[in-house]
Structure formats: C-alpha cells, structure tokens
Amino acid sequence: MTYKEYIEDTFKNCMTVLSECPVGDLLDANHLRNLLWEDDRVTGVVSGFCTSVKNNVADNIKDVLFDPDFLKDLNARGMNMQNVMFNGPDAIDVAARCLALKHISINELVKREQERRRHEREKMACEFFERT
C-alpha cells in the first residue's frame, strides 16, 4: 500500500471504531484521539499488529517503504527506519498507520459519523411510518 492508501485505510478503520462509540464519546476530541490511537483496528499500537489488515503485512508495506511522504513523516517524528525495520514488517505497518492517523481530522470523522447516524435514524423513521 502507498502512504496515501494507508491514510485512506486508516480513515475507514477510524469510521468503524466511531460507529461503535456512544454518542457522548463523539463530543470529546481528546478522548477520541486516545481511543483511535489505542484501537488495534486503527493503529495496532497496543498489540503490535493491526487487526484490520486484509493482506499479508509484507504485501502491505512494500509500497510504503520508499514512499517519500511516509519517509518525510517518519523522519519528522524522529523515527529511524532501520530501527523500525529491525522489528519486522508488522512494526513498519503499525508505524505507517500511526503516522497516517496524524493526517486524519478528528472533527471530520465526528462530522461524518454524526451524519451517518442522522441518516440511519431518518431511514428507520421512514421504515417505521411505511409499516404503520
């Protein structure tokens, strides 16, 4: 996956996590940031691997290894690629997902989730009125 694809995939994984959050959790950006950071479906930072990975991790990372945007973010955070690579492909995948999360707006996630829920409520109301 390219770094752009990591960002897109991480965004989708964030939306999955937010879909399971109570409404009150959507009001606290700091809480959401921590929740997303620690959820293995988003970053894999807790377990050391992302549970939402669909392919072999080695296949996922092959395009990101030399992606200039990824390497720029990695270096900007003071991370050393050799140290990350020493820990294997899962470590590179987790690093890419963690760095991708930095490109995702919590406010945009919340806005989309609130819109999704509103749409779901409207759909349920229409179905209810159609049955009665």
Q: The tokens of 119 are what?
A: 């749409």
Q: What confidence category does residue 119 fall into, taking pLDDT thresholds of 50, 70 and 90?
A: very high
pLDDT at residue number 39: 94
DSSP string over 23-65: GGGGG-HHHHHHHHHH-TTTT-TTTSS-TT--S-HHHHHTTTT
pLDDT at residue number 128: 79
Instruction: Look at residue 12 and tell me whether its pLDDT is greater than 80.
Output: yes
Count of structural domains within the chain: 1
Range of 43's domain?
A: 3-131
Mind listing the pLDDT tens digit for each residue in 54-86?
778 888 899 999 999 999 999 999 988 888 889
What is the model's pTM? Answer: 0.87
Question: 64 with 1: CB under 8 angstroms?
Answer: yes
Measured over the CA atoms of residue 29, residue 69, residue 79 and residue 96, the dihedral's sign is positive
Rounded percentage of the chain residues whose pLDDT exceeds 70: 99
pLDDT at residue number 129: 77
